[in-house]
Structure 1
């Protein structure tokens, strides 16, 4: 099954490991790489490499390598001129066997700031110019749910596509559906490298038909969360909410509101105890009719989620983890009056991006 990105948003969902793919436009100061996944109980080690070329043998600007070997540690290094350089070892393991994780790699002027599960972990100083980084390789004992680059050097950032010679829907042997990403020169439509399960829908190059994400994300906001939606809602406006539902979570509510009246134009209620996702609206203090039908429910305790809410002329379209979940028809004639996002309940938010 191919997992496609919602319009205007370019993550990679469920890539086969080992994963090798481009970072379109490269990185720049302020770019962030989000990786969500889980590790098995019998893990030995896994790695995330930021590459300076299109192959696994390319120079490595950042080698991030958690090792479970009886002396649990995380190793950082670089690789150039066919040689590994001096290791930096951290004897503090932020990952737990059998559990989900989120890694954030933030590119700064000085180096790479690494966060794991919302906590600062390590700063790795640059040994190679940031602008050389153009690809990513992930391997070892790990399952990856999503990869996303925010603030890439091209408009919209993002990842996806395939390397040279990848054909339509293709990728190399074992590919399970390429999505509609664009590869490096010579690449066709779709495809990751070995076995990629979705290249992302568009890459956000300047001139791309798909809208890019504007402004800076709101990283790790506190819940309850309430903030103004900059510029309000309009057709094709997309809001990205990425977070994690801790074990024991019961309910989460996401409200798109009019701040003056406190009316709720679009209410999403994730009820984990009941296994349902309720949609509704509230005007003048009165709730409307609930909508509950779903083909599947992607929300689970202890799991990360990646939600995209896109405003259309007649309805909201909601995607979760790369799959279309439901539509909600506008019940308020002037959806451009929606100016506030509120989030409440049992949830940890990684970032919100308008």
Structure 2
């Protein structure tokens, strides 16, 4: 039986302030996925990627949204207990009292931050990302999910994370059972790239021992839409096409996080 290493196990509803290790460290191709919310009276919070497992360790990335009348997000690093020069972005991707999804993608250039599917800022590396060993989160924020992807020393990227168990470079079309099935807050993360000339792709959650599809996600690249649907008894339901943006484009990488939020349907 395969047992996923600790670094692939999602962390649900951690107590804030949170301080925890990143098993295996980070490298080019790794990603950190966070799902959370901010209170109505939010003033600021921070996410630090630490070069050790103590709060006093060097900080390779300091991400610090501040609602202080001059709303901004501050990026920085800390070495030998001394902060470096701040990189200020005078824009605020968070709203008070609202939920958010955030991805920190590690590239050869820096930390590429996306909030709610939109590129926000890339903070260039000042300290080697290989030094990162832990994450520290504190301030006015609640976190529901933390998931670190692509931390295996054997493989720098993880193409498919299912319930904490990574699957590398699966053949397409790919079909497999979901161990333990789906349950509230279970997260499946798919990372891939849309081929040049692609018309579309699909991700289906099928009901065991039947042909029913509980969830059908069908990005149609040429049309610029993402269709969601279900099929019961051989009949498709009404399509849901409402999305403000289409994140799937030819020749571009994507990260899809599928989170079961309710306890009915499948």
Instruction: Confirm or deny: 8 A CA contact 2:17 2:139 kept in the other structure.
Output: yes
Decide whether aligned partners of structure 1 residues 234 and 117 sit closer, same or farther in structure 2, where only a CA change above 3 A counts.
Answer: closer
| Aligned length in residues | 206
| Structure 1 residue corresponding to 2:213, chosen from 267, 270, 281 | 267
Deviation digits for residues 172-197 of structure 1, max 9, x if unmatched? Answer: xxxxxxxxxxxxxxxxxxxxxxxxxx
Structure 1: gaps of 5 or more residues:
1-6, 158-203, 205-209, 218-226, 244-252, 258-262, 271-278, 288-304, 308-319, 329-354
Aligned to 2:28: 29
Instruction: Confirm or deny: 8 A CA contact 1:156 1:214 kept in the other structure.
Output: no
Q: CA RMSD in A?
A: 3.8
CA distance in 1, matches of 2:153, 2:114: 24
Aligned to 1:10: 9
Q: 1:108-119, aligned counterparts within 5 Å?
A: 108-119=107-118
Decide whether aligned partners of structure 1 residues 113 and 42 sit closer, same or farther in structure 2, where only a CA change above 3 A counts.
Answer: same
Offset, 1:156: 8.7
Offset, 1:36: 0.7
CA distance in 1, matches of 2:75, 2:164: 36
CA distance in 2, matches of 1:216, 1:150: 14
Aligned to 1:86: 85
Decide whether aligned partners of structure 1 residues 24 and 238 sit closer, same or farther in structure 2, where only a CA change above 3 A counts.
Answer: farther
Instruction: Confirm or deny: 8 A CA contact 1:156 1:212 kept in the other structure.
Output: no
CA distance in 2, matches of 1:235, 1:60: 37
Decide whether aligned partners of structure 1 residues 47 and 286 sit closer, same or farther in structure 2, where only a CA change above 3 A counts.
Answer: closer
Instruction: Confirm or deny: 8 A CA contact 1:40 1:97 kept in the other structure.
Output: yes
Q: 1:213-224, aligned counterparts within 5 Å?
A: 213-215=166-168
Confirm whether residue 212 of structure 1 aligns to residue 165 of structure 2.
yes
Offset, 1:102: 1.1
Aligned-partner SS, 2:63 = strand
Aligned to 2:134: 135
CA distance in 2, matches of 1:211, 1:83: 36
CA distance in 2, matches of 1:62, 1:108: 13
Aligned-partner SS, 1:265 = coil
Confirm whether residue 256 of structure 1 aligns to residue 256 of structure 2.
no
Offset, 1:10: 1.0
Deviation digits for residues 69-117 of structure 1, max 9, x if unmatched? Answer: 0000000000011100000000011110010111110000111101111
Deviation digits for residues 42-69 of structure 1, max 9, x if unmatched? Answer: 0110000000001111000000000000
Aligned to 1:99: 98
CA distance in 2, matches of 1:269, 1:29: 32
CA distance in 2, matches of 1:40, 1:62: 23
Aligned-partner SS, 1:26 = coil
Deviation digits for residues 124-172 of structure 1, max 9, x if unmatched? Answer: 0000111000100000000001000011134699xxxxxxxxxxxxxxx
CA distance in 1, matches of 2:265, 2:71: 46
Aligned-partner SS, 1:105 = strand
Instruction: Confirm or deny: 8 A CA contact 2:214 2:231 kept in the other structure.
Output: yes
Per the normalisation by structure 2, the TM-score is 0.66
Aligned to 2:225: none
Aligned to 1:223: none
Offset, 1:21: 0.1
Instruction: Confirm or deny: 8 A CA contact 2:9 2:164 kept in the other structure.
Output: no
CA distance in 2, matches of 1:119, 1:235: 29
Aligned to 2:71: 72
Per the normalisation by structure 1, the TM-score is 0.51
Decide whether aligned partners of structure 1 residues 67 and 24 sit closer, same or farther in structure 2, where only a CA change above 3 A counts.
Answer: same
Decide whether aligned partners of structure 1 residues 30 and 269 sit closer, same or farther in structure 2, where only a CA change above 3 A counts.
Answer: closer
Larger Cα-atom Rg: 1
